[in-house]
Amino acid sequence: MSYKQELKKEKKSFFNISNFPFYYGWIILIVGSLGVLASIPGQTMGVSVFTDYYISNLQISRVEISTAYMIGTLASSLLISSAGIFFDKYGARIVAAISTVFLSLFLLIFGFSPSIINFLTNTFNLSHIVIVFVVMTLGFFGIRFFGQGVLTLVSRGMVAKWFGPRRGFAVGIMGLITAFGFSFAPQPLHSMIIKFGWEKALLVISAFLFFIFFPIVILFFRAEPNKYSMEVEQGMKIKQNKNKKMVMDAKVQKTVSEARKEPLYWVILFSLGFWSMFNTAFTFHVVSIFKEIGVTADQAVKIFFPISVISVVSRFVASYLSDRISVKYIYIGYIVSLIIASLSLMILSFDFVIILLIISFGIGGGLFGMLNIVTWPKLYGRKHYGAISGFAMAIIVAGSAIGPWLFSLSKKFTTSYSAAGLFGIVLSSIFFIFILRSNWSVESE
């Protein structure tokens, strides 16, 4: 359906967003936040709750399931940029609806995986572990692509397109909702497993997505205001700022091909991809990391709550500042947090370093979340947001795929995660130099 046809249908509908007594962008902010939360089953945090149940019930080793996770995630990263192009072309509602349906279907594959594996093993007379590995790889590809990838991309991108001068504030509110949602999610997921069993818990999540969240997408998701004859932040008081050039989006609407020609784009991409790699690996191996210094598993996972609190605060503050200062300065703070986080991992045996690690991971995670939304319209405009952010998401997803694997190599060959910390210090220091030396004049174009 073209945008003209959609607008014509919208005007005839009882749910005409242009007739709302307040700016519809606030509805977009709410449902966009819900969209990010709905992606949790495809996020590392959501997957990790079920990992041990897959291992014990499907007779697959931790190395094998980690490899399946990496292959499935890497495969999904190859297609994410295409999803961004579809977002630009067909809008948020259609792409998010398709993503929700397929995320629900792939969760069904996991829920029925024991039966599917037994059927395929008996039918094709293949090795049990081969069938398990193929099914798990396919399942991980689906939930990572449609959950972590497409649904997250559309939900964040939709909010970015509906806000301009107040985007930083909107992203801060979104971060507040999603950060606490992500930190709280493992508890209800674990409770569902205890109550229903891991298989039925997956079926319940699948049903929730299809019967509850899918209607929300159809009813409330909208691409961007100009597609419905509305202006960004229409009806809202114009914000006055002495340094107005710093709060405006880029005037030149660049395509993803044009963005790729700029060195700054690649510096930003790889710095965001590095955090995705580093943070995912840390989350995946957190119990093993703290076991090195004699900290129990129960104590290790408790660090995520203070990290999430710091993340929310830093994201909200940085989102507020992004409306008022050059995003370059926020990137400088972000890279510094990466250096400190890497250093903390390298010398974690010292007691005070745990506090340093919590603070740096909290700040890094908070800044990463908001920069992944506000960077693209500020540097390249809103018109091709989907394609530009979609290509960036491909790098980010790829980073999350290889991170746990690289950390496991550090542990295997050096018997410690300190080597991973040293690698992080070197790489993030290089990013710091490039961030300082890059040309940021594009912000004022």
Share of the chain above pLDDT 70, in %: 92
Whole-number pLDDT of residue 293 = 84
State what percent of residues in the chain have pLDDT above 90: 43
Number of CB atoms found within 10 A of residue 127's CB: 10
Q: Report pLDDT for 291.
A: 81
- pLDDT confidence of 109, banded at 50, 70, 90? very high
Q: What is the pLDDT of residue 34?
A: 97
> If you search the block for the tokens 């249908």, which residue do you land on?
9
Structure-token match 């579809």, residue found: 86
- Average the pLDDT over 83-92 and give the result: 89
DSSP conformation class of 238: P
> What CA–CA distance (Å, rounded) separates 333 from 363?
9
Identify which of 84, 90, 228, 223 has the alpha carbon closest to the alpha carbon of residue 161. 223
Find out whether 151 and 39 touch, Cβ atoms under 8 Å: yes
Tell me, rounded to whole angstroms, the distance of Cα 103 from its chain centroid.
15
pLDDT at 164: 84
Quote the CA–CA distance of 194 and 189 in Å, as a whole number.
9
Average pLDDT over residues 239-253: 61
C-alpha 144, offset from chain centre = 10
pLDDT per residue as tens digits for the range 329-383: 999 999 999 999 999 999 987 778 999 999 999 999 999 988 988 898 888 988 8
Closest CA relative to residue 276, chosen from 419, 394, 152: 394
Instruction: Report how far residue 42's alpha carbon sits from residue 263's, in angstroms, rounded to the nearest whole number.
Output: 31
| List of domains in the chain | 1-226 (1.20.1250.20), 245-439 (1.20.1250.20)
How far is the first Cα of the chain from the last one, in angstroms, to the nearest whole number? 34
CA distances from 226 to 117, 234, 236 (A): 48, 10, 15
**Nearest CA among 137, 384, 402, 163 for reference residue 280:** 402
pLDDT at 319 over 70: yes
Is the pLDDT confidence value at 10 over 70? no
Indicate the helix (H) or strand (E) that contains 43.
Answer: none
DSSP H or E segment with residue 303: none
Query: Quick one: pLDDT at residue 245?
Result: 47
Mean pLDDT over each residue of the chain, to the nearest integer: 86
Alpha-carbon gap, residue 214 to 92, rounded angstroms:
13
Q: pLDDT tens digits for 198-230?
A: 999 999 999 999 999 999 999 999 988 888 778
pLDDT tens by residue, 120-176: 999 988 899 999 999 999 999 999 999 989 999 999 999 988 998 888 888 888 988
Reported confidence tier of residue 239, pLDDT bands at 50, 70, 90:
low
For tokens 């607008």, what's the residue?
Answer: 7
195 C-beta neighbours (distance < 10 Å), count: 10
Longest dimension (CA), the chain: 72
Looking at the predicted structure, is the pLDDT value of residue 1 above 60?
Answer: no
Predicted confidence (pLDDT) at residue 116 exceeds the cutoff of 90: yes
CA–CA distances in Å: residue 299 to residues 311, 353, 357: 20, 15, 15
CA atoms within 13 A on the CB side of 251: 6
- Measured distance CA(175)–CA(367) in Å, rounded: 10
Check pLDDT > 70 for residue 64.
yes
